[in-house]
Amino acid sequence: MEQRIKDNLKDIVGEDNFTDSLIDMIAYSKDASEFTHRPEAAVWPTCTEETASVLKLANDERFPVVARGAGTSLAGLAVPEQGGLIMDMGRMDKILEINIEDRLVVVQPGVVYADLDKQLAPHGFCFPPDPASGSVCTLGGNVATNAGGIKGAKYGTTKDYVLALEVAMPDGRVLRTGSRCMKTSSGYDLTKLFVGSEGTLGVITEITLKINPKPPLLSTAMGMFDDLEDAGRAVSEIMHSGILPCALEIVDQQTLRAINQNTDLNLPEVEAILVAETDGYTQEETEYQIEKVADIFRRNNASTVRRADDRQEAEALWTARKSAYGVMARINNNLFVEDLAVPMSKVPTMLRAISDIAKKYDLKIPTVGHAGDGNLHPCISCDATDAEEMARVEKASKELFEKVTELRGTLTGEHGIGMAKAPIMWMEHDELSMEIMRNIKQVFDPNNILNPGKMGL
Ligand SMILES: Cc1cc2nc3c(=O)[nH]c(=O)nc-3n(C[C@H](O)[C@H](O)[C@H](O)COP(=O)(O)OP(=O)(O)OC[C@H]3O[C@@H](n4cnc5c(N)ncnc54)[C@H](O)[C@@H]3O)c2cc1C
């Protein structure tokens, strides 16, 4: 990037909000995935006008811009594949409005998920998606990836809560989409088009989110299964039983081993554990639901069914689940976190396929997942410096995704396409769909300056 462009950027955002230092460029060359590529400079815009002016400059001078939240993407979404500028939204981090009467909040994109949660808690409200990275990831990142989490089965994902957006476009104009209403049938849904768009259509500068009342009471149960398919069948049966747990998570044997090696939780190393949580406003309500779930665990041959006796014990179970990536990362040098989803009835088939593929290619593929919405995270543990092992990883990944498409699932339930899935998007989307997506990109970003190389576009 030429010095005169860097000077222009400093004029727009100020000296303190610009960097091209080597240490910053190295930090911005990565997110939480395995991908890496260095940008040439970075800015921290502090308002919509600065964001729009930077984009206009980039569009006029034709350099790439990658918006960045906390950089926790697991699929290379925030890596500047073609260099250029990182636009770190972290300094636009104000909660602008909490409006309980209208059941909404208005936030800047750099607000951290957990900070909003903390502010909503005293009102008895929440923004439900609850990604496991919630203590650090930003709401702008959540919207741009359509983030989900352990509450997905009952409460949906980010897209179900985005009411309106303010978006800076590449030509420097500012677009306002949506409304403050709980419903609308007015025109094409431009708001939803930006949800999950991975920073390829515009940079989100303000978000209006619907919020939910948070049921105060929870009951938790854990079922231990000696057979993976029994666990899968239990998931499927629960989800059409009429009971909707607010969380239903699966942890497989290899993950349990990793948890036991790194914590003092001492969990039984069975083929799979299911952890379920039900919520409500009376103890009777949550207990009634969780007993139904426990019955289904038993009917599907759970060797043990345990109820968390108090909140502390339940929290310990969730800590184990949420620490899964951390402990898995200790198994070997590299961890490729996959993110497939299949229709609910296919969960047992997919779980067995993952286990068979791991055996076939002699790989460790510990798997956790939001079983309640069919979203599984097989995590391929490997050593990326071992060429022979990497050849096996490649074959195993290919087979995994062939199985997903055969079961009419999706390549990514919540992490996005990014760099990881761009080369295989065709497996899920036919040529006409890809052509329409390319045309949409052309309308919003005709010079392809926004996060180029992502989404298979
Ligand atoms: C330990 C761990 C656990 C995780 N668990 C979950 C989980 O449970 N559920 C889940 O969904 N994900 C999970 N993730 C993935 C990740 O946290 C989410 O994708 C999250 O939404 C990314 O937010 P971020 O602020 O880090 O965004 P980044 O990683 O910085 O960016 C992600 C994408 O959003 C775009 N973007 C960011 N801000 C803007 C903006 N203002 N305007 C336009 N585009 C923007 C970027 O360009 C990029 O394409 C996990 C990651 C880790 C490391």
Q: 159 CA to middle of ligand 1, Å?
A: 14
pTM of the model: 0.94
Regarding whether 241 and 370 lie in a shared domain, the answer is yes
Cβ of residue 110 lying under 6 Å from some atom of ligand 1: no
Question: Tell me, what's the pLDDT at 155?
Answer: 96
Q: 308 CA to middle of ligand 1, Å?
A: 31
Angle at the Cα of 239 from the Cα atoms of 234 and 240, rounded to 5 degrees: 105
Q: What is the 3-state secondary structure (H, E, C) of 185-218?
A: CCCCCHHHHHCCCCCCCCEEEEEEEECEECCCEE
Regarding whether 175 and 54 lie in a shared domain, the answer is no
Cβ of residue 69 lying under 6 Å from some atom of ligand 1: yes
End of a domain among 150, 181, 213? 213
**Residues β-bridged to residue 221:** 276, 307
Regarding whether 249 and 367 lie in a shared domain, the answer is yes
Rounded (to 5) percent helix, strand, coil in the chain:
40, 20, 40
Dihedral class, residue 329 (left if φ above 0, else alpha if ψ from -120 to 50, else beta): alpha
Structure token digits, residue 131: 């990604």
How many other C-beta atoms lie within 10 A of the C-beta of residue 415? 28
Question: Tell me, what's the pLDDT at 329?
Answer: 81
Q: 281 CA to middle of ligand 1, Å?
A: 32
End of a domain among 35, 58, 89? 89
Question: Tell me, what's the pLDDT at 345?
Answer: 86
Cβ of residue 204 lying under 6 Å from some atom of ligand 1: yes
**Residues β-bridged to residue 87:** 43, 67
Is position 424 within any domain?
Answer: no
End of a domain among 62, 89, 116? 89
Question: Tell me, what's the pLDDT at 328?
Answer: 83
Q: How many domains does the chain have?
A: 3
Contact 251, 188 (CB under 8 A): no
Contact 340, 409 (CB under 8 A): yes
Cα maximum dimension of the chain: 70
Cβ of residue 151 lying under 6 Å from some atom of ligand 1: no
Looking from the CA of residue 325, the nearest atom of ligand 1 is 1
Regarding whether 144 and 184 lie in a shared domain, the answer is yes
Contact 211, 126 (CB under 8 A): yes
Is position 444 within any domain?
Answer: no
Regarding whether 400 and 264 lie in a shared domain, the answer is yes
Regarding whether 271 and 145 lie in a shared domain, the answer is no
Question: Tell me, what's the pLDDT at 226?
Answer: 95
Q: 200 CA to middle of ligand 1, Å?
A: 14
Regarding whether 135 and 201 lie in a shared domain, the answer is yes
- Domain coverage including residue 351: 217-406
Please give the single-letter amino acid code of residue 102: D
Q: In sequence order, what E strands does 41-138 have?
A: 41-43, 65-68, 85-88, 95-99, 104-107, 125-126
Regarding whether 247 and 370 lie in a shared domain, the answer is yes
**Residues β-bridged to residue 106:** 97, 208
Regarding whether 378 and 326 lie in a shared domain, the answer is yes
Question: Tell me, what's the pLDDT at 148?
Answer: 95
Spans of the chain, pLDDT less than 50: none
Q: Is 103 exposed, middle or buried (0-12, 13-18, 19+ CB in 10 A)?
A: middle
370-405: b or e for each residue (b if 16 or more CB lie within 10 Å)? bbbbbbbbbbbbbeeeeeebeebbeebbebbbebbe
Question: Tell me, what's the pLDDT at 264?
Answer: 80
Structure token digits, residue 430: 């036919």
Looking from the CA of residue 202, the nearest atom of ligand 1 is 43
Q: 141 CA to middle of ligand 1, Å?
A: 4
Contact 201, 194 (CB under 8 A): yes
| Positive or negative torsion for Cα 287, 290, 296, 300 | negative
